[in-house]
Every structure is written in structure tokens, then in C-alpha cells.
Amino acid sequence: MKTALITGAARGIGAATAKALAAKGTRVAVVGLEPERLAALTDELGPGHLWHPVDVTEPEALRTVVDATVAAFGRLDVVIANAGIVNYGTVRTTDPVDFARTIDVNVNGVFNTVRAALPSIIASRGHVLTIASLASFAPAPGMAAYAASKAGVDAMTCSLRNEVAHLGVTVGSAHFGWIDTDMVRDADAELPSFRRLRSRLPWPANSTTDVAECARAVVRGIERRSRRVYVPGSVAVAYWVRSLITSRFGDLATRRVMGGFIDAYEAESARLGRAIGNHADKAEHS
């Protein structure tokens, strides 16, 4: 029987993926920052599954969780480094502490998760899946911290893939557009300018995918040991034209779509008086 460990599994994509894997007979260890949610999810998954509260920015705690999971399951076949947060804000207005927290969770947290799990994944000749984003290669104004972190995850994953291939380990990254999670819904509710912008973006960046559909795509990617998982599949188009997206032509197109977005976005953020989206108690993926 296959086994998997998923970080950021208390809600959103992590929880949906745990359900999809469990439905296929995989024993799952769900990890996150919300014990009550994790316990409820494990009850829903049924007997034979585990949950552990842990902060992915704490390497020693993650190693303890991996050891406990392997002790209970006997092996670890898949690790999904899903825990992540988002910071909605411009470089000019984002608090340095919030920027650093986004990088810490999204980049260091993935590194800590993968490094803790690698000995067990190598032993099982298993699979590593990191959760990157459409933002890895299509960075949007107003999401500099998130885009920087996801570009970092993508680059780290590419390095890792070739570091462990000779050990029989496969490595993939998942790149999501807008997924119907708390983080996206919260931003839509709190930042009207953000909601309007999303509706004006060109396809596929203007679409929102159901979280269950996203989880099914992730599970297919794991089963196939895919190098990249795109959700929706049209995100692959952005990957192949990424040089165009960040070219001078891409800049001009972006500015045309943006209109007066940045001024309104910064003003709304200032009125709220706090970071948007960067909530440690909602570590999941959008």
C-alpha cells in the first residue's frame, strides 16, 4: 500500500488531495497548523491515516513528523510540499516582515519538507511533488512576494530533479492558476480592485478551478510521476510562452490590462491596515 505525507493539509488543496489519495487506497499523513481541522480530516479519511501539527519553517519538527510517519506506515512513497501562504501587496507597500514570512514559508518550508522526507523517499524510490504556481513564470503586479517565492520553488525543484534521478526518485512541480480556496475568496472579498483585475485578465489567467478538480489533477500527476502538473491544463500555455510574458511586449500588454489597478490596490490595502493573505493559520495553496 502506498503512503504519502502532505503539508498544508488542514484545508484547501492539501485537504482535497488527501481525500483523493485516500479514496485510491493511499495511507496519508496530513500535516499543518490547525490541529482541530487536521483531526477532523483524518476522521473523515477513515482508519489508517495520521495527522501531525507542525510549522514547515521548523526543520527539526518536520524531521520528527517524517520519522513518526515512517514508524507508523513502515515507509514513505510520496511527499507533497503544499504548505504555502500568499501576500497581496506591491513592493512599494509590502511590510518587509510580511515579505520575509512569505519567502520563509513558501521557499524554506518546501526545502525543509523535502529535505526531511528525502531519506525515506530515496529508500522507497518514491516521488516528490512541490507546489509552485502559474506565478512561477507569469509574475503578476501586486504579488511580488508570492511570485518570487514560487519562482524559487520552481528553480529548486528543477535542481532537485537532477540531483536525485540516479537514486530512482522522481520529482515534479504543480503549477496552479486561481483555485477556489479561502485565500482567493478572502482576497476577492477584501480587495475589490483585485477581484476586478482577475475578471479582466486574459485566458487562462481569468479562470477559477474547483479544488476537487485540482486535487484530481495532482493525484494523476503523482500516479504518472509527472515532471509538471498544470491546473487548469491551459496553464501549460503560459509556461511555453513565459519568455513572451516577461518581454517588453508582455509588459505593455500587462499595463494595458492593469489600467488604474495599482493605485486602487494600494489604497485598499492601506485602508485595511494589515497584510492581505499572509495568514499562518491558513497555510494552504491558492
So what's the pLDDT on residue 253? 84
Q: Which residues of the chain have pLDDT under 70?
A: 203-205, 274-286
- CB burial of residue 1 (10 Å; 0-12, 13-18, 19+): exposed
What's the pLDDT score for residue 281? 39
- pLDDT at position 286 is 37
User: What confidence score (pLDDT) does residue 278 get?
Assistant: 56
At 273, the amino acid letter reads G
- Provide the pLDDT for residue 166: 98
What is the average pLDDT value for the chain, to the nearest integer?
91
Residues designated as active site: 146
pLDDT of residue 84: 95
CATH superfamily of 3-282: NAD(P)-binding Rossmann-like Domain (3.40.50.720)
pLDDT score for 204: 62
Q: Which residues contact 69 (CB under 8 A, 6 or more apart)?
A: 3, 5, 29, 50, 52, 76
* Residue 280: predicted pLDDT: 42
Angstrom distance (rounded) from CA 57 to CA 27: 25
What is the model's pLDDT at position 81? 98
pLDDT at position 259: 73
